[in-house]
Amino acid sequence: MRVGFAGLGAIGTPMATRCATVHELTVWNRTGARATAFAGAHRGVRVAATPRELAASADAVITCLPTSADVAALLDGPDGLLAGLSPGTIVVDCTSGDPATSRRIGERLATLGIAFVDAPLSGGPPLATEGRLTVMCGGSTDDVRRAEAVVAPFAAKVVHMGPVGAGHAMKAVNNALLAVNILALAEGLVTLAKAGLAPRAMIDVINASSGRSFVSEVLVPDRVLTGAWPRLFRLALLEKDIGIAHDLAHELGVPDAVISTTRERCRALRRELGESADYLDPIHAAERAAGVELRG
């Protein structure tokens, strides 16, 4: 399949690397040097100078950008995606975006005979590298079936969530729940450490008990207890996703006291820690505030 890939960020790069082994791949990135370097490292990959050029030779275009607004901004103008996309092609948006913008994009493309599937991801760069991402899709049954072949190189699980926008709704709520777990564990673990408990022992008990989560089972042992603290996903992007979940709840008239509180706390931490902070840095901040370290 001829695939155009837009967005070579932290997760987009390993996704595109997997695609290069299966598809006839062309890449585009807002920082052109990154696309050029990627093509130089992967035989057969072409570089597009513009989104239009990316789309012109593609059966499918994958977008993987920070926000839905970034995706929408690629559409218009003489060098935009719409100038290059042909009827019958499909756009698979792997951005962690918002449902409302996705619906608008999908409706607009549909009038031109172009399919659209919102297909955000779970698993992060490590699982992208291994081709084991979970992809949550919004779109028609036929379009999602087509999207499965596009994302196959980096996906272990593809789930059809519903119509366009449903994938982004699912991803936003999932990430809001991730944030709830990070903040709750940060408070709980530093409290136990301050009380004199050994970090490894407390995590072993939590993970054998009802308080366990992906954060306690994987992220804390691998990245916090070891002191590794890899920079894999920015807190700013997590805070953006919580905001999408909050806005969705508000739109639907659903009370969201926990998600709303989590959003405000992550927003404050984003201001305190800066735009480059990692999504696990709230645990680091809790350590500093309590005067303890969760290592062992």
pLDDT tens, position by position, 235-291: 999 999 999 999 999 999 999 999 999 999 999 999 999 999 999 999 999 999 999
Measure the CA–CA gap between 137 and 163, rounded to whole angstroms. 8
Measure the CA–CA gap between 95 and 64, rounded to whole angstroms. 5
Locate the domains of the chain by residue range.
2-163, 169-290
End-to-end CA distance of the chain: 48
Asked if domains 2-163 and 169-290 share a fold, the reply is no
Measure the CA–CA gap between 2 and 164, rounded to whole angstroms. 23
120 bridge partner residues: none
pTM: 0.95
Q: Spelled out in words, what is the top-level CATH class assigned to the domain 169-290?
A: mainly alpha
Mean pLDDT of 194-198: 98
SS3 content of the chain, % helix, strand, coil (to 5): 55, 15, 35
Give domain 2-163's CATH architecture.
3-Layer(aba) Sandwich (3.40)
pLDDT at residue 57 greater than cutoff 90: no
Least Cα distance to 216 among 199, 230, 235, 198 occurs for: 199
Task: Tell me the catalytic residues.
Answer: 171
pLDDT in tens, 92-135: 999 999 999 999 999 999 999 999 999 999 999 999 999 999 99
